[in-house]
Structure 1
Amino acid sequence: MAERTQTEQRNLARELSAAVRGEVSFTAADRALMTMDASNYRRVPQAVVAPRDADDVAAALRVCREHGVPVVPRGGGTSIAGQATGVGVVLDFTRHMRRIVSLDPAARTAVVQPGVVLDDLRAAAGAHGLTFGPDPSTHSRCTLGGMIGNNACGSHSVAWGTTADNVRELALLTYGGEGVRAGRGTDATGAPTGLPPRLRDGVKALVDRELALLRTGYPDLPRRISGYALDALLPERGTDLARALTGSEGTLGVLTEATVRLVETPAARALAVLGYPDESAAAEAAHTLLVRRPLTVEGMAADLVGDAAGLPRGGAWLFVETGGASPAEAAARAEELCRAAAADGSTDHTVVTDPAGQRTLWRIREDASGTATRMPDGSEAWPGWEDCAVPPDRLGPYLQDFRALLAQHGLRGTPYGHFGDGCIHIRIDFDLLTPPGIRRFRAFSHDLAGLVVAHGGSLSGEHGDGQARAELLPKMYGPELVGLFGDFKTLWDPAAGLNPGMLVRPARLDDNLRFAPLPRKPVPVAFGYPHDGGDFTAAVRRCVGVAKCRNAASAPGSPDVMCPSFRATGEEQHSTRGRARLLHEMLAGEVLTDGWRSTEVRDALDLCLSCKGCRSDCPVGVDMATYKAEFLHHHYEGRLRPAAHYALGRLPQWLRLAAPVAPVLNALSRAPLAATLAGRLAGLTPERPLPTLATQTFTRWWWQRRRGEGTAGSAGSAPGRTVVLWPDTFTNHLAPQVGRAAVQVLEAAGLRPLLPPTAPPRPGFRLRRHRPLCCGLTYVSTGQLDRARQVMRRTVDALSPVLRPGRPLVVLEPSCAAALRTDLPELLPDDPRAAHLASAVRTFAETLEQYAPTWQPPRLDRPVAGQTHCHQHAVLGDAADRRLRDRAGLTGPLSGGCCGLAGNFGYERGHYEVSVACAEDQLLPAVRRATPDTEILADGFSCRTQLQQLGDRPGRHLAEVLAEGLGDEAG
């Protein structure tokens, strides 16, 4: 049997590859990437096909039909009910079929392929003052095909409706290969137009037979998404077949093209934030605001928002957006709405007209689907009852009953969402790992379905039923109407080949849970994973698939870094989500069977820059840089490593050995033959010159200065508060001018910098009396974690005596500061001294702000450009840097993103093109746009090197710029 199955697989692969012009993959890696969406469910597909056009879709369907293989259409994979997973062939529309075919501003319509990302359509329409109304929080990566499949809505549905309200015509192919052009209206016989004869006659007969049921079987509410919208086929509703097929979750036909309606956007917007005593009060008030025709009415409570700045007094808030022809008109409408709300129970309010301020607040809402997956105590929470909806005027009582039901089952969750539409999102702390927890999940789901129905609601108010809720549809619609859904499915898909197990004849809601194949016990690891209870599996589970890492570009005004390699390649395996999925499958051991030796995981992680952007930008805090280091540690354990790991991973020791002969080595590096040979042996990319070694290291300069006389010799005895200045490897051996400038500025600020003591020699090690200290960064980034721990422990031993309480450790290189603040305590979790050292780490700007608060920097008064270091953005924060720049008159924002060099990454063979593409994403364009008088700032050595090698203008560390200003003032 197994052999016959393998033969059938080979035949399927051969025929699909011959029939389809797009990519056809049966590899373990590509299948592993498609096992999950953003839901609790997991299915392993047989193959992944990326069709180039509708002809490819038809060819794939034909081959799959002949082999009896089911087909699952998939867009961005952000569905949270399981409908983007399947066991057959997955059609991935994000690779090729993502073209906006046409856009007609006069008719306010656009024709799109299913893989078009919503924000791309909105950008194209925005040039004409138009937009596509539905806007789910995943708007930067969800596709129109997925939105049509799920009938997505978003926060502006109170103004512009659901996706079904904005679809004009759909082009589909059935599993049987029939072409459909679904629109609105009937032919002379009263049958829907655009159907082949079999479907035309069948649909008409079904509607004619069931007119009474279709007229009485559906609840009347704005967010009724569950089931098939067969009532749209009623003659009094215009026989709207396009609307009836929207929300069918790929179970009836495969979408190849859609004509959608565009709406006019207001010229200006204002955001009224209304405070209420609690969630129930906000829910009760939401529907009363609809008469004022707002664009949004979104609700959030304190347990989700936390201590977000800019919010008025209250325990819960409504975010209500208003529009107008001018900023003044939008603000006036918002103020009028606030006055009405105050008379109806609002405790406080604020109106935000600044676009940047609005984006900050909306980001809280948009990230909620991720942030809500962690409870305040760090425990996990999951989707499953993410978006049920009730009539808006019933929302207050429903939420009270909902909270009571949670308590009855011993569960917790944080409701938020589209209060104006009566639609609630929530992640609940289900235990989906143990049989008792799964039984409780099932029992709660049945009880909640009954509660929703009792309030006249819909089991799904936005994201569809999928596997999560389809089993419960009889509670909402009754067996007769659900039976009619089955008849409609059979009519369209008699072979049950499209997305089986969804919506009709569904799998049980507690089957196919994605956690089932994971290890039950923690696997041995090197890092401590303090936020995941020391469990690497729990760390990998953090990725719930919201796919913010798949953003092709940063939002306007956003400093986001994640995910530079995805932005460069557009490949799922090079996104944070893709890598997390592969790690999940590695742990599961079903698709990827080699464990830590997996070449699929290794290849996906190869283009991870270890920028740590996901640590801060991912709503659930996935830290792929740490996971990569962990994987490499195990993958190469007891085996020969790539040459670059020895050359770049052990860079601190090579630079220490090279220091005495730096002039000779610099000369050799400029000789093409010698440089090429050295680079080839070291596994380095031939496109990059080797960096120039300092002929005088920073530490040598420091100790010569200390031994000197006069002003130069006063550094060790100068008055002022003592700070320990960390001589990182890059500053010491490659950019000593940064260290010298930092000393000058710190002393000018009244501080007394001292260098840390060097580590004692190893027993029997007689070549040098002392060894320099190291943060371990390069060892961590190449996964040499045993060596990293040795280096870090030596650092802790040496620094502990001098890092007295209140004495900071000043680190000039952001990547080294991040390593000391996070990697060191996480690799030495049992040493309390490591945590103390990490807490003492300060950036250059933090040191000046905290320990020299009255010092006035030189006034430089010029604009700046450049990039905030990715590790600073992700781990350290740059608020102190921004305040210091403001005080020095250095104006303007720095870009986000990653420079692309990223330590060892950009020097490793095979990474050059991606490294350059990352630099071209934000850094290089920002520098090119800069005026001649603009100061180019780049605190990271990698950033400065990338600018030197790829750009026309060099960058400098902030310390250098301030030190130069001190010299100018003295002059």
Structure 2
Amino acid sequence: MSESVARLTARLTETAPGLRVESGPGALGQYAYDASNYRVPPQAVAFPRSADDVVAVLRACKETGVPVTARGGGTSMAGNAVGPGVVLDFSRYMNRILDIDPAGGTARVEAGVVLDTLQSATALHGLSFGPDPSSHSRCTLGGMIGNDACGNRSVRHGRTSSHIEALEIVTVDGVRAVADRTGLHAVDPQDAGLVARLEADVRRLIADNLAPIRTELGRIPRQVSGYQLHHLLPEHGFDMARALVGTEGSCAVVTAATVRLVATAQASTLLTLGYDDVVDAAEDVSEILRWNPTAVEGMDEAIVATMRARRGPDSVTGLPEGRAWLYVELDGDDEATVNTRAAQLLDVLKAQGRMTGGRVVRSAAERRSLWRVREDGAGLAARLVDGGESWPGWEDSAVAPENLAGYLRDFRELLASHVLTGVMYGHFGAGCVHVRIDFDLATDVGRTAARRFLHEAAALVVAHGGTLSGEHGDGRARGELLEVMYSHRMIRAFTAFKDVFDPDGLLNPGVIVAPAPLDADLALHQIQPLATEFSFPHDEDGFAGAVRRCVGVGRCRSDAGGVMCPSYRATGEETDSTRGRARLLQEMVRGDIVQDGWRSTEVRDALDLCLSCKACSSDCPVGVDMATYKAEFLHQHYKGRIRPRSHYSLGWLPLTSALAGFAARPLNALLRGPVGKLLARLGGVTTKRRIPAFASRRALRGVLRGAKSGESARAVLFIDSFTRAFRPEVAGAASRVLADAGIPCTAEDGLCCGLTWVSTGQLSVARRIMARTVAHLDNGDERPIIVAEPSCAAALKRDVPELLGTDAARRVAERVHTFTGALTDLAAPDWTPPELPADVVLQTHCHEYATFKGSRPTDLLRRLGVVKVDEAEGCCGLAGNFGFEAQHYDTSMAVADLALKPRLDGIDQDTPTVVVADGFSCATQIDHLAGDRGIRALHLAELLDPTADQAARPGGTP
């Protein structure tokens, strides 16, 4: 800790008791990044709970000369949310909605409120906040104000600045004030004189620069670059609130805002239009705008291909033929009128002759699916299906919409002349193009080439009458380029405006005014590949390249949608997000802030609450797989050292459970008493859960007597360790259902996928176990391998080939199916299952969700006739060994509270409802949560078992 930070911390202890301030390697490593190309390690991170805390921080920083950077969700793409001094994280505590006034159409919110939280609250009144960036599930209102965010519907609603009534700010001197549409007003009367002088200085500045402000600013709808001083012109009423929007925290710190809301449309529909390329798509924008759409969004084929590769071929449906697409949303007072207008627009565009196809998307579910592809564009474009990497830096230029096609045509030629490739998408209806480019930012030669390209790109967009930034702000990426866009007089006016508010340059230094060089502080650097157990076949630099996948878009910080990231959803801490962990692993590889490499305790602690659910490998747009990274880290961290006790007791469970089968009855009786609790404590296992009862070895043999063998068997039923040890009846049911579905199986017992050794980071043992299994299964047999336990199926499908790295392992992996997948892909066309209940509560295993994307249990159940499938979207919280470990019990239950427990609590005992959970962990958690009410989870095989007594099933229908 530097002397200045030590003094600052001591000062804050006096002036803001209880303020959380962190300055260890863990916090500094995570907050050194946002979603940009930049890495600027702070000296400390503060988590204010009130405006008074912000006042205390700013006063202490002023006294000690330490810079301050305000931060919301950390999704800034231009380097706006990283800084060298104190980072203020508003998202953790200052995230309250203070007031909603439905009659006045306004809301008052703290800076750390996530946009989706506000939207959910205002939707109850038929209102919403107009701007809707693709990061709406995790971006904060403070961040949106900082960079004047827009969003997918900016054609209708414009920029954030258009919706701001008042800002509550703290100046660099620690003075609280309110900026509104008439000026600047002190909160505390004793500060009135100081605030009045500040306002007077601004008024003089505007009066001295009327000509350049009127001629250079506000020329096109998306002109975000620089400061928006035109709002202070006399004809605009000296609107100080709107002038401070887009200043990126470089003039004052926003603590709260009063925002104007818009009415929610009664009806809307979506058109998807196909084109040969993005230029053809742009040519049609002018015609589309005449139809008053709410959104006109563009996207190219690379993003769609990556989405399908990452989440399955059915993850993107409803797009017409083409290599580029436009989404056009229309709204109105009723559905019939909207649909009529959509059909008319489609006819007009067909007559224009540029479309390759077009359709109206009537299904709400399909519309949500299509919007997700667009919203994940930044992440999907960062790591494409072919493995190529691309980067922001010129991701946000904008021109007038009528100039878009010409600009894109020239821009593509500029890319080609520099031998660069850009993945394009964005707000075509507003003339704003997002593009990620395959810059080489790891070498001096590559950085020099990138600098040359960016200067030429700036000159090009200016020549087309455009702006460097259309919504993300200038930040560190484009501040240097403002001199290409604006006159020297305008640049001097920007400097003077900042000097009025921040004469010492302490607020977000290096941004907009006196900008840092655009190629300074780049995060990407040349690295030495690390020797690892996993092969990381999809990443050129192995482990280092794998953890570099995280580019900070922050989808893991969402509270809803998908499954990632359960621990973040439970704690709300950056360190417990996929992004936070990935950033620390990047620092570990770098060896600067985190200097202990594989032995790092900071990285170990950050990974501690990772449930290894693997959801991030599917939900993360760039495919971060934290479960695999954690397994590798634990292996390296504990190599040659004593491990946590649970690694032995739970990691070696397949072996101990096999031995337990020889004396299951007396052992179960022993474990139910005091000896069981003692053994649990000795093994690092929580005593708050019942230890599942072991099955005898005879039990499995009994239930499998009917399994086929020899040539009549079409598939192999792999008997995993959990099924063998704890619920052999599932194996019997699976065998009968598969035979009934036309997939008779031969049972394969005595093998193991190695999962428990992987999840506890004992990879040397896992490799030996896996190698034995692969050698046995890769014997020339090409029949499908069906696994009843989803986590074991996922291990065979993904972990085995990535850990062994052999052709044999890959051949085995290709044959693996979950039970759901087998019935989806292999069942006889005329198979009819037994009569099923009308209602099912479903808990899908996270590993199945992440690894087997094309066969979802919920889809199969609906196809088989279940009318209502209430899926608990999210992790059950037990997650294998995680929820059994004593130190993780509380987090496990907190995760269960997010989705699973509310579904179980909502089951009406008088209404027949079946609970289905194929995963042993999920079923165990359900028993823990609701077993005392007689609720037990069935495996899908038990539900479909043709020999089962329907009336006898727990919660079943007679």
TM-score normalized by structure 1?
0.93
Is residue 730 from structure 1 mapped to residue 704 from structure 2 by the alignment?
A: no
1:180–1:195 CA contact under 8 A, matched in 2? no
The 8 Å contact of residues 272 and 318 in structure 2, kept in 1 or not, is answered as no
Match in the other structure for 1:949: 928
Q: Give me the CA root mean square deviation.
A: 2.0
Deviation at 1:211, TM superposition (A): 1.0
Q: Secondary structure at the match of 1:414?
A: strand
Instruction: State the identity as a percent.
Output: 51
The reply on whether 1:351 has 2:343 as its aligned counterpart is no
Taking a change above 3 Å as real, the CA distance of residues 198 and 578 of structure 1, as seen in their structure-2 partners, is: same
Whether the 8 Å contact between 2:149 and 2:471 is mirrored in structure 1 is yes
Does residue 800 (structure 1) correspond to residue 778 (structure 2)? The answer is yes
Question: How do 1:751-830 and structure 2 match up within 5 A?
Answer: 751-756=743-748, 772-801=750-779, 804-805=781-782, 807-829=783-805
The 3 A distance-change label for structure 1 pair 289 and 744 is same
Distance of 2:544 and 2:874 partners within structure 1? 28
Matches within 5 A, 1:70-89: 70-89=67-86
Given candidates 580, 587, 590, the residue that maps to 1:588 is 590
CA drift of 1:377 comes to 2.1
Question: Are the equivalent residues in 2 in contact too, given 1:868–1:878 (CA < 8 A)?
Answer: no
Partner residue, 1:926: 903
Instruction: Give, in angstroms, the shift of residue 861 of structure 1.
Output: 4.5
| Structure 1 residues 697 and 183: CA distance shift in structure 2, 3 A | farther
Residue in 1 that maps onto 2:380? 371
Q: Find the aligned partners of 1:292 and 1:171 in 2 and give their Cα distance.
A: 38
Indicate conservation of the 8 Å contact 1:415/1:424, yes or no.
Answer: yes
- Structure 2 residue 872 is the aligned partner of structure 1 residue 908: no
Structure 1: how far apart are the matches of 2:860 and 2:948? 15
- In the TM superposition, residue 137 of structure 1 has moved relative to its aligned partner by 0.4
Alpha carbons 2:71, 2:87 under 8 Å: kept? yes
Q: Could you tell me which amino acid in structure 1 is paired with residue 546 of structure 2?
A: A
Instruction: Determine if the alignment matches structure 1 residue 141 to structure 2 residue 138.
Output: yes
The letter of the residue matching 1:734 is F
State the partner residue of 1:740.
732
The 2-side partners of 1:870 and 1:793 are apart by: 25
Query: Aligned ranges for residues 302-701 of structure 1 at < 5 Å?
Result: 302-306=301-305, 308-345=316-353, 346-516=355-525, 520-533=527-540, 535-554=542-561, 560-671=562-673, 673-696=674-697, 699-701=700-702
Aligned to 2:279, the other structure's residue is in SS state: helix
Please state how far the C-alpha of 1:749 moved relative to its aligned partner: 2.8
Partners of 2:62 and 2:173 within 8 A in 1: yes
Distance, in Å, in 1 between the alignment partners of 2:341 and 2:906 is 38
In structure 2, relative to structure 1, the CA distance for the partners of 1:664 and 1:969 (3 Å cut) is closer
Distance in 2, matches of 1:880 and 1:116, equals: 34
* Structure 1: runs of 5 or more not aligned: 555-559, 706-711, 759-771
Aligned partners of 1:195, 1:339: CA distance in 2, in Å?
A: 62
Q: Deviations over 1:114-138 (max 9, x none)?
A: 0011111111111111000000000
- Contact 2:166-2:257 at 8 Å conserved across structures: yes
Assess, with a 3 A threshold, how the Cα gap between structure 1 residues 594 and 37 changes in structure 2: closer, same or farther: same
Q: 1:697 to 1:93 in 2, by over 3 A?
A: farther
How many Å separate the matches in 2 of 1:869 and 1:182? Answer: 50
Question: Does the 8 A contact of 1:542 with 1:622 survive in 2?
Answer: yes
In the alignment, what sits opposite 1:768?
A: none
Q: CA shift at 1:22, angstroms?
A: 2.4
- 1:706-735 deviation digits (Å, cap 9, x = unpaired): xxxxxx5x8436x73431111101100101
Match of 1:958 in 2: 940
Measured in 2, the distance between the counterparts of 1:576 and 1:513 equals: 21
Of residues 810-819 and 890-899 in structure 1, the stretch that sits farther from structure 2 once superposed is 890-899
* Cα distance change on mapping 1:899 and 1:194 into 2, 3 Å: farther
Structure 2 counterpart of 1:841, from 813, 816, 821: 816
Separation in structure 2 between the aligned mates of residue 858 and residue 202 of structure 1, nearest angstrom? 80
The residue number in structure 1 matching 2:46 is: 49
**1:688 and 1:611 mapped to 2: Cα distance?**
20
> 2:313 corresponds to which residue?
none
CA distance in structure 1 between the partners assigned to 2:502 and 2:322 by the alignment = 52
SS at match of 1:343: helix
- Quote the offset at 1:86 in angstroms: 0.6
Distance across 2 between alignment mates of 1:383 and 1:131: 30
Determine helix, strand or coil for the equivalent of 1:426. Answer: strand
- Per-residue CA deviations over 1:448-475 (Å, capped at 9, x if unaligned) read 0010100000000010000000000010
Q: Deviations over 1:841-883 (max 9, x none)?
A: 0111322343332322223242211211111100013636445
Say whether the 8 Å CA contact 1:720–1:751 is kept in structure 2: no
CA distance, structure 2, for counterparts of residue 107 and residue 886 of structure 1: 45
Helix, strand or coil for the counterpart of 1:578? helix
Once the 2 structures are TM-superposed, how far is the Cα of residue 969 of structure 1 from its aligned partner?
12
Q: Structure 2 stretches of 5 or more lacking a match?
A: 186-191, 309-315, 953-957
| Equivalent runs, 1:223-302 vs 2, <5 Å | 223-302=222-301
CA distance in 1: counterparts of 2:138 and 2:277, whole angstroms: 33
Q: What displacement does 1:382 show?
A: 0.7
Q: Structure 1's 699 and 629: CA in aligned 2 closer, same or farther, altered over 3 A? A: same
Query: How far off is 1:243 after superposition?
Result: 1.0
User: Secondary structure at 2:476's aligned position in 1?
Assistant: coil
**For residues 832 and 534 of structure 1, what CA distance do their matches in structure 2 show?**
21
Distance 1:112 1:968, change over 3 A: closer
Please name the residue that 1:128 is paired with. Answer: 125
The answer on whether the counterparts of 1:219 and 1:456 sit within 8 Å (CA) in structure 2 is: no
Match of 2:709 among 716, 723, 743: 716
The DSSP-based 3-state class of the residue aligned with 1:467 is helix
Cα drift, residue 593 of structure 1: 1.4
Separation in 2 of the partners of 1:567 and 1:361?
25
Distance in 2 (CA, whole Å) between partners of 1:186 and 1:384 is 34
What secondary structure sits across from 1:911 in the alignment? helix
Task: Decide whether aligned partners of structure 1 residues 811 and 667 sit closer, same or farther in structure 2, where only a CA change above 3 A counts.
Answer: same
Of 12, 19, 39 in structure 1, the residue corresponding to residue 15 of structure 2 is 19
Cα distance in 1 for partners of 2:79, 2:825 equals: 50
Pick which of 232-241 and 7-16 moved more. Answer: 7-16
Task: Report matched runs for 1:852-867 at 5 Å.
Answer: 852-854=827-829, 855-867=831-843
Q: 1:825 to 1:722 in 2, by over 3 A?
A: same
CA distance in 1: counterparts of 2:193 and 2:161, whole angstroms: 18
Q: 2-side partners of 1:627 and 1:592: how far apart?
A: 16
Q: Could you say which residue in structure 1 is the equivalent of 2:825?
A: 850
My pick for the range that moved more, 813-822 or 658-667, is: 658-667
For residues 180-232 of structure 1, give each alpha carbon's deviation from its aligned partner in whole angstroms, at most 9, with x where no partner exists: 321113699xxxx9981221221111111111121112261110000001111
* SS of the residue 2:475 aligns to: coil
Aligned equivalents of 1:318, 1:944: Cα separation in 2: 44
SS at match of 1:873: helix
CA distance in structure 1 between the aligned counterparts of 2:28 and 2:114, rounded to whole angstroms: 22
Which is further off, 892-901 or 815-824?
892-901
| One-letter code aligned to 2:469 | S
Name the CA distance, whole Å, in 1 between partners of 2:797 and 2:605: 29
Specify the code of the residue in structure 2 equivalent to 1:786: S
